[in-house]
Structures are given as structure tokens and as C-alpha cells.
Structure 1
Amino acid sequence: MAENEPLDEAGGADLFRALGRQVQVLRERAGLSRRELGDQLGYSEETVFSVERGRRTPQPEFLEAVDRLVDGRGLLSVAVEDVERAKSRSRVRHPAWFLDYARLEKAAVELHFYATLTIPGLLQTESYARAIFTARQPLLGEGEIDERVAARLSRQEILTVWPLPTVSVVIEEAVLRRCIGGALVQQDQLASLLRIGAMRNVHLQVLPLTCEGHAGMEGPFILLTPKGRQPVAYVEVQDVSRLVTDQEQVRILAARYGSIRAQALDPVQSLALIEKVRREL
């Protein structure tokens, strides 16, 4: 591909599908299952599957790692620049009502989540996100489900792009035990949470069921601080979303979040509980 050749959204999707097929061919030639490849490279089986199906953007470090492991002789590494160009030019199809938040999230230096119903979207696996969109009422078409899942997964780059944002998450224990998509989907989601919780810039806590009362009983919310701007909050319920910019309201939510974190298990205890729940499913 020429250096200045334009690459539109459809072209980017075609590139990712083609690279996914190449990953699959090289993996099978090396005699590795998806799980074996993922285990050797530090990725989940689902991530490998999603890349091979063209559902997930193949990250440059993933392509280079696969190339080295299966002796691809540069077949995948040579495409890294094209992938970066496709990512920068593609348009993520978030719902219109979500766009303002998505822009602020992408520029955030701090992100804080309080989750009461589902795992926060920024931390969801593909299967978990797909189960949520599939169960949505009124029903979404298959194409729209695919678009929303892809858009949700694309946001997760925020967690690993330098400089890393500071991220904290408090998840109610009931969310861990609710098998959205079934036990296997939930187990994989919890395994992913364990990996995310081990990241240097992420502080993951669980609010246990034994907590008799806390400051978050009015529902979930998100706090974020975009670079160079005042903190804002975001709340969403029953298709109604609201970006909170009034600094007094943001201060109140931040105070509530501080109280919730104080009542939650510490990160070490939280990861232990997540692993316990995962094994019980």
C-alpha cells in the first residue's frame, strides 16, 4: 500500500479481516490452537479468535509477537504501519447520544467507574458485550450489534496507550455473580478482569454483598478528568444519558465515590474474590 494512499473505514475493516486470516493460517501451520497461541503470548483465547475473525483491531504488538512466535518472516510485522494508519482514519460508530462522552473518555487522564449492573464497557470482553447488546430491548439488528461491539472494544485502547490514564473501578459483587451470556462467558469476563486488575494504572475493587449500606445506592456513575479540563461525570440509565459538568454536582459524586471506595474490599482482596467467584461458576 502506498504511503499516502487513503484508507477509509471499509478499507480498514478489509485490512483487519485479511490480517486475521493470515494470523489463523500461520497459527495453524505452527500447529497451535488459539488457546495455546494466546497462552504463549499473554492474550486470551477470545482475543485471538476475535482478531482472526476480523472483529478486533490487531494491535501492532500482537502482530509482531505472533510473527516472532510462528516464524512469519515479517508477513505480519510489515503490516503494522498500515494498521496504525487504518486506526487513525477509521470512524468508530458509537450511538449519537454517546459521542460526547466517548470524546472526553478518549482524552481522559483519570477515569473512575462505579458499576452496579454490568461490568463497565471499557473492561468488557467481546462475548460479554455481545450478550448485552443481543439482550437489548427493542432488539438490535445483527449489523448494529456488530458495530456496537466493535466500537466498545475499540475504546479499550485507552487503558494501554501511553501516557497511561489513572483508572479506578468499584464493582458490586452482584455484578460478578450475574452470568450475563452464560457461565462460560462470565468466567472469561472475570478472567479478563483479573488481568486488567493486575495492570499498573488500574485499581480494581469489589463492593461486597455484606456491605449493609453505602453511598452508591442511587445508581452507577463515571467520573473522568480530560487532559487540561475540569472533571466531569457521566450517568446513564434506561436509554437516558447525561453528561454532568456542573462542578458542584461533580464534587458531590466524587465525594460519594470516595465513600464507596472506602467501604469496598482493597485491590488484593478484590482480585481474590473475583478469582473465587470465577471458580464457583
Structure 2
Amino acid sequence: MEDEESEAVLKTVGRQVKMWREAAGMTQPELGAAIGYGEDLVSSVERGRRIPKPDFLDKADEVLGADGKLAVMKEDVEKARYPKKVRDLARLEDEAVELGAYAGHHIHGLLQTPEYARALYAMRRPAFTEEEVDRYVAARMARKAVFDRVPRAQLTFVQEEVTLRRPLGGRMVLRQQLEHLLEVGQLRHVEIQVMPTAREDHAGMAGSLRLLKLRDGKTLGHLEAQLYSRLVSEPRDVQVLEMRYGMIRAQALTPRESLTFIEKVMGEET
């Protein structure tokens, strides 16, 4: 595992599985056969080396008579599957009453379809394994819960025009992604704007950015560039990001104009 928090969760789960297995008088091969998993996987789970699937915990709970004590750990295990950076972002997004983001290279993560996200992770270099791609895609999709939680957060996005035209994953993936933008853009608490390439003035030339206004009134910025991810909390720096994002939104098409623009791009793709 890549961080201590995840490692601790998996070791705790592994110890519990081992304790209940031994209390039931079963060997690792016997437990594996009873729940439909191999002995090697059972051993790896008990040592905290592998992430058990929800089905593994459900079946082990039933076979070992744990009365729900193993199955209840599914939520903690599921969160441990996600990289630490993603978990930290998800926590902040869950606390946000307002979230704003400008994306200049690709569709923003919170707006991505699973297919689009998979295409992005599949083209990373050095290359991810298939298991790593699955893990990152699942983590990104889980963060989309921010759209559904109550009370609603106000979510605003500005997408560079090129992100609507770059066919990452292929033309069909792009078309499905544009359809998803149109669908999400209809939500009352979501505004999607497009920054046309033809704009002569552009306040976002320093790169993509994100702003999160939390329940306690504090505003944080978040920046990503190549290998680095940085949370911005210094008030003066946050003020600069807020000013830039405000100007970016003013320079972009309005939300209504933007949805019309996305429909136009879709028509050009057919």
C-alpha cells in the first residue's frame, strides 16, 4: 500500500479475518474453498497485503459466523482502496459548500465519465497496471458523490474549448463525455462554462485551478502540475486564485451559451 492509513486499515481487517477463521477452526485453504477464493488470497488478506473485495468480506462473515462484524468493515476497506491524495480531496469536497474549478487540458475529474477517466489513466507514463487503473477510476467515480449529497454544494466549472474537442479515448468516448456534460449542466446547483479558444484575454494562462469554500467559511485552493499536487491555504494566495477564477468565469461563455456551444461541438463530431 502507498500510505500508512490504508496499510493500518488492511492490517486490522486481516487480523479480524484471521481471528474469526481460527475461532471457527478452519485453515486458510478451507476458508478459501468455502467462500470461493484461493488460499493465496486468503493469506494475503490476513497479512494486510491485498484489499479484500466486498464479496470476500460478506462470504467470510457468513461462513465464519461473524454476525456482521466482518461485513461492516467493507466501507473502511473500500476507502482504503483509493490513493491518499484522492481520499484527502474527497474529504475536502464533502465539506465544501462551494466548489469552483478551471480545467485547461482535459475534462475536470468530477465531470468525467468512467470511460473518459479510464482513457486518461491508461495513457499515463510510466504506465499503470490494470489493477491501478481500476483503482484510480473507482476512486474518481466515488468522488462524484459531491453532486448528490444534501445540502447541495454550489458547483461551477470552466472548461477550455480544446477539452471538448480532444478525443481522448476515441470519438465515441468523447461523444459520451459531451452528452454527460449536457446532462450535468442541467442540474440547478451546477454551472458549466466554456472558455473559447478565440478569447484574446484569458486570466487562466497560469494553469488549471480549484477553489473550495468550506462550511466553516474558510476557502482553500488546490493546484496540480505534473508530479505535484498542492493545497493552498495562505489567505493572500487564495485571494489571488479567487480573483483569477472570477475573471476566468467572466471571460468565458455564460452557462446557457456554454451548453449550446457543447451541443454545437457534438454536432460537428457526427
The answer to whether the 8 A contact 1:111-1:166 is kept is yes
Matches of residues 23-172 of structure 1 in structure 2 within 5 Å?
Answer: 90-172=78-160
Structure-2 residue corresponding to 1:12: 54
Q: Residues 269, 13 of structure 1: CA spacing in aligned structure 2 closer, same or farther, 3 A cutoff?
A: farther
In the TM superposition, residue 89 of structure 1 has moved relative to its aligned partner by: 6.6
Structure-1 residue corresponding to 2:237: 249
Structure-2 residue corresponding to 1:228: 216
Q: Residues 85, 111 of structure 1: CA spacing in aligned structure 2 closer, same or farther, 3 A cutoff?
A: farther
Structure-1 residue corresponding to 2:34: none
The one-letter code matched in structure 1 to 2:263 is E
Runs of 4+ in 1 over 6 A off after TM superposition: 6-9
SS in structure 1 at match of 2:79: coil
Q: With the length of structure 1 as denominator, give the TM-score of the two structures.
A: 0.69
Taking only aligned residues, the RMSD between alpha carbons, in angstroms, comes to: 2.5
The answer to whether the 8 A contact 2:79-2:87 is kept is no
Q: Residues 137, 11 of structure 1: CA spacing in aligned structure 2 closer, same or farther, 3 A cutoff?
A: closer
In the TM superposition, residue 94 of structure 1 has moved relative to its aligned partner by: 3.0
Any unmatched runs of 5+ in structure 2? 1-15, 18-44, 46-50, 59-70
> Sequence identity of aligned pairs in percent?
41
Q: Establish whether residue 280 from structure 1 lines up as the match of residue 264 from structure 2.
A: no
The answer to whether the 8 A contact 2:52-2:77 is kept is no
SS in structure 2 at match of 1:112: strand
Partners in 1 of 2:164 and 2:262 — Cα distance? 7
Partners in 2 of 1:227 and 1:168 — Cα distance? 17
Q: Among 198, 211, 225, which residue is 1:237 paired with?
A: 225
Q: Among 184, 189, 192, which residue is 1:204 paired with?
A: 192
Q: Deviations over 1:36-68 (max 9, x none)?
A: xxxxxxxxxxxxxxxxxxxxxxxxxxxxxxxxx
Structure-2 residue corresponding to 1:191: 179
Partners in 2 of 1:157 and 1:142 — Cα distance? 24
Any unmatched runs of 5+ in structure 1? 1-5, 17-82
Partners in 2 of 1:136 and 1:206 — Cα distance? 26
Q: Residues 148, 194 of structure 1: CA spacing in aligned structure 2 closer, same or farther, 3 A cutoff?
A: same
Q: Residues 205, 92 of structure 1: CA spacing in aligned structure 2 closer, same or farther, 3 A cutoff?
A: farther
Structure-2 residue corresponding to 1:51: none
The answer to whether the 8 A contact 2:160-2:194 is kept is yes
Partners in 2 of 1:109 and 1:121 — Cα distance? 18
Structure-2 residue corresponding to 1:215: 203
Structure-2 residue corresponding to 1:49: none
Q: With the length of structure 2 as denominator, give the TM-score of the two structures.
A: 0.72
Partners in 1 of 2:202 and 2:57 — Cα distance? 48
Partners in 2 of 1:203 and 1:92 — Cα distance? 31
What is the total number of aligned residue pairs between the two structures?
210
Q: Establish whether residue 267 from structure 1 lines up as the match of residue 267 from structure 2.
A: no
In the TM superposition, residue 99 of structure 1 has moved relative to its aligned partner by: 3.7
Structure-2 residue corresponding to 1:177: 165
SS in structure 2 at match of 1:137: coil
Q: Residues 196, 13 of structure 1: CA spacing in aligned structure 2 closer, same or farther, 3 A cutoff?
A: farther
Partners in 1 of 2:214 and 2:72 — Cα distance? 23
The answer to whether the 8 A contact 1:92-1:151 is kept is no
The answer to whether the 8 A contact 1:101-1:234 is kept is no
Higher-Rg member (1/2): 2
